[in-house]
Amino acid sequence: MILSSAQADPRQDSATNDALQNSPFMRACRREAVPFTPVWLMRQAGRYMPEYRAVRERTTFLELCKRPELAAEVTVTAAERLGVDAAIIFADILLIIEPMGMDLEFAKGEGPVIHNPVRAGADIERLREVEDVSTLDYVFDAIRQTRRALARDLPLIGFAGAPFTLASYMIEGGASKNFVHTKRLMYTDEAAWHEMMSKLARALPRYLNAQVEAGAQAVQLFDSWVGILSANDYRRYVLPHTRRVIKSITPGVPVIHFGTGTAMLLEAMREAGGDCMGLDWRINLSEGWRRIGEDKAVMGNLDPVALFTNRNFVRAEAKRILDEAGGRNGHIFNLGHGILPETPVDNVLALVDAVHELSARK
């Protein structure tokens, strides 16, 4: 049962906070010894799960994000059903752009659509500063309700989109293959580009820190589209803004810095910051960790499509990745991206069980 926001103080008592901070997930974020490798999965509350589909039949995606009791329900259900070592709040990276003045819709079969995309400097000037995040209270209320309903030692992850990925959506008006509008603006009007990124970089810490205040133990920054950039472009157009966001997160709160297609950007992303660096499946975990540096934790990195095979293959792939990690402190097992909608639930359960079993410290 999900409790209403009026039923309890969102602050944790000291015993609960100690249990959360000593959980395998939080210890791994700090690169401390753990009894087994913690595992959670991006998009672990999603369409592959019948319990989620039953909730979605009653509402739209955006309404689900904006109804705290439903967002909390699907978050808790997924974490408990899978037996993972962290929950992640159900929300969407694009919610932050609505208070900035963007007209956002999730069109059936099309995904996110922004009806007033940014295409020129004048459009950027009209973007509102998000100095007050109270218009996103539904996210914070969902976190409060979720925190009260979760096991006292199960951490909750908050998240946001990184500046580049959000800017890309806002400029393209939705998803894109080649990001022509984004790169054209970036290359031809650098001042306008940095103004837009700066507005995002000022808004995001307020949003993420409010999630922490509401009850999240860690946060993840999703830079889903940044892999379309060269390392030079990343350093020139993105790194300063992402670094500003990460440096402004509440001290002591672990930050997971995640992107896809980023094998050529790992060193630059490390410069941008984060306590734990997310790796996708396109790079060997041990190689990625070497390039990032073992003073950072890493998260990853099973190909989500591996979950469409069978239990034996899933187990073998889990063992391969755990072997690459070599039992070093600081590995959080995850997919290289989110769970796909048609993924067999039994294979997801098998993955979680395999990670726990194979990584158990003797």
- Active-site residue list: 43, 47, 56, 92, 169
- 111-114 and 104-107 as β-strands: parallel, antiparallel, unpaired? antiparallel
Query: Which amino acid, one-letter code, is at 106?
Result: F
Give CA–CA dist 227/298, Å, rounded. 18
Residues near 302 by beta carbon (within 8 Å), at least 6 away in sequence:
281, 317, 318, 321, 333, 334, 335, 336, 351
- Asked if omega into 301 is within 30° of 0 (cis), the reply is yes
Do residues 49 and 338 lie in contact, with contact meaning Cβ atoms separated by under 8 Å?
no
Do residues 138 and 128 lie in contact, with contact meaning Cβ atoms separated by under 8 Å?
no
Give CA–CA dist 83/171, Å, rounded. 39
Residues near 322 by beta carbon (within 8 Å), at least 6 away in sequence:
37, 331, 333, 355, 358, 359
Residues near 229 by beta carbon (within 8 Å), at least 6 away in sequence:
164, 237, 238, 265
158 beta partners: 219
